[in-house]
Amino acid sequence: MAKQIRCECGFIAQGDDDEGVVSEIEKHMRSDHPAVLAGMDRAEIFGWIEEG
């Protein structure tokens, strides 16, 4: 089943697995929310994953 993470800005990252969806949200955050990403631990982002 596909995985997704919803950003507070409305962006939805999707991927086939945990690593894929985390990579997609990291790309989004690097371009749109770099200060937020800089203060985050990657393990925390894995906690945002939802089944899509």
- The mean of the pLDDT values for the chain is 96
Burial of 22 (0-12, 13-18, 19+ CB in 10 A): buried
Kindly report the three-state secondary structure assignment for every residue of 28-50: HHHHHCHHHHHCCCHHHHHCCCE
Per-residue confidence band for 17, with pLDDT thresholds at 50, 70 and 90: very high
Per-residue confidence band for 1, with pLDDT thresholds at 50, 70 and 90: confident
Is 80 exceeded by the pLDDT of residue 52?
no
Any bridge partners for residue 3, and if so which?
Answer: 15, 51
Q: How many angstroms separate the CA atoms of 7 and 27, rounded?
A: 12
pTM of the complete model: 0.91
Per-residue confidence band for 45, with pLDDT thresholds at 50, 70 and 90: very high
